[in-house]
Chain A
């Protein structure tokens, strides 16, 4: 019964990635290799980020108790290491016969999948198989869904920023602002949870809502950028 619950939570956490891959044209153009490369880049980025965090950040004695603006600012700065990693994945990982459209999706997908595996698989394995029932792992799965949307949005915005040359000048600040918001999303959620004392369901709800909003905006931006070029 508890293995059943683990199975459910795993479906919720990792299912959307697989569905996204198989449902979109990604699967038809064999972009798996790009995704895997992106995932490897993510792993390396995460490692670098971890080393930086461990070097520069104080270990707070009372974890998750209060929101320390200075520490969080540092964390947000290190968050941009991820953006750098994504930049590398988008610009340096060249793969033939793949369109820009598919490339950012594949990178975003690989990115999100690696993140889920790294951050959620082990807690899930230990937690969800236990006898004790909590909503945490279901919420965590929902969070993974939001994260997938965020990653793909960020990859889309990144590809707009770095790969597309002839984009309308008026849209550039909006693109950068959106990318900034997405990149600082972990800090925002951390602030909501610790600074404002929101409970996990509320935070996850916020994440889901904002991910959909961001996805919609980046889609619109993408479409807007594509129009003049075509």
Chain B
């Protein structure tokens, strides 16, 4: 007896490898067996002069719900993630909810799949429903960006998986049993660490220089025309902020204009007596901070040599009206000259160009248009845009609804022609003569496939400056493209204005788990317990008899052993 008790202990090492193997498996394997995993994009989190805005948390681990009023009005939603399809969203309700600062476990906003930057579709404008939806998304975005929301807010795109989950959650809610820890349902989990501040975000300006022809060789004596577009974006979800129109269209137009002039300037016969300066600036949504730093870095002579600057902004949507925004009085001769140039070309192509004057308020930090940064340094400049009024700070610069669907290549091509033609007429002193340098069928025609391919690229790439590294592929691509068309390319890295602070973890993976409730497990335990007890009794009765079973309960074990 004693012998047999010692020997199992000696055998134990046999199991050590098994235990070790199990432990290694525990350590290494990260099992993921969720019902579904979807990409989610977090609402932007930023501080404006130290004041917090946006979604302040990233970690999500709560049960799913589908409406603000789950079953009773007193229900506490602070441990529920609301899954709300934007399609059916009641904006007033959510406005009220956020306005009153009520707590939620989290918010998952489901965008229709048309808003996905991945889905590049050529259908432009589209049906009325889509336009309504776009307005709704824009309004929602405005609400979310300017609110301080103390819970995680995520965006996801509707797909079959998530819709199935949503339908199930809705059914649960409708049956009057809100999903909490005791009733089961779905659990939504985004494993993310606390969002961290991005230390000194960089903004990168890219400039290309195309020198003009001067008989005695020194091109720096020549006047310069600057063509500028800001390329970065800001939107409710930084990972989705592609800004096809604002300002992807401007960037595409700038690249195409650079390409056209590089063709002209490569031949000494057609090389103009003006230098051309192309600037792709960053920090556009932040009062054109990049433009400001870029201009400051110019030396005095270059700045004074700039004849005028044309800023390209939002040129992609359908419509026959463009606006030339200026900050000098319209009576100014230079402004008149630029405006005349544009409107005469516009007339020929059936466009309308209006002149909009907006005075600069030097004491206000708000810079609504890119040309205002030039004007502040007394450089003549104008912004050409389809927008008639300037958007508010952080708005209209790459919102969720601003994607490939809302932009037409034809409009961009038309705008490219307008700008290139008027600049070329100015360079070659052809004003009012009706020459058509960039005629459609000529060798200098705008290349629609070039425009389309760049537009497609920009429409699938989010470009929020703080989340772009210095050597981001997009920046490298823009730099390389500009280098192909100009003689000299410079890249300038600057730090973003300190009033803006950004936080990371802009996207993540949402795991949806179907979970059982605690009550279910309790019931299961009861069932299992009774099963084992029944089994025990059955085995005792069949092998030893009923009396033995009864005796087990009657006599204390010590006396039982003696009896046996």
Contact = CB atoms under 8 A, between A and B. Distances in A.
Interface stretch (B96-104, B294-302, B370-378, B528-536): B528-536
A28 B564 contact: yes
Interface string B472-516: 000000000000000000000000000000000000000101111
Contacts of A33: 4, 7-8
A66 interface: no
A8 B543 contact: no
How many B residues touch the partner, as a band?
Answer: 35 or more
Contact of B8 (A1, A36, A122, A133): A36
A39 B516 CA distance: 35
A50 B389 CA distance: 75
B167 to A, nearest CB: 18
A24 B4 contact: no
A19 B1 contact: no
Nearest to B537: A23
B535 A16 contact: yes
A38 to B, nearest CB: 13
B534 to A, nearest CB: 10
B540 interface: yes
Contacts, number: 91
Contacts of A8: 521, 524-525, 528
A11 B528 contact: yes
Given A1-B521, A8-B525, A15-B532, A23 B33 contact: no
A132 B34 contact: yes
A32 interface: yes
A40 interface: yes
How many A residues touch the partner, as a band?
Answer: 20 to 34
Given A4-B518, A8-B528, A126-B29, A40 B539 contact: no
Contacts of B181: 1
Interface string A1-21: 100110110011001100110
A125 B515 contact: no
Contact of A130 (B7, B22, B31): B31
Contact of B536 (A1, A5, A19): A19
Interface string B15-32: 000100010011001010
Q: Which of A19, A32, A121 has the most CB of B within 10 A?
A: A19
A43 B33 CA distance: 29
Nearest to B529: A11
Contacts of A138: 524
B362 interface: no
Contacts of B75: none
A223 to B, nearest CB: 12
A28 B561 CA distance: 10
A151 to B, nearest CB: 15
Nearest to A219: B542
A65 interface: no
7 contacts: A1-B181, A1-B521, A5-B521, A8-B524, A24-B540, A126-B31, A132-B33
8 A-B pairs closest in CB distance: A23-B539, A133-B516, A131-B513, A132-B513, A23-B536, A24-B543, A126-B31, A4-B521
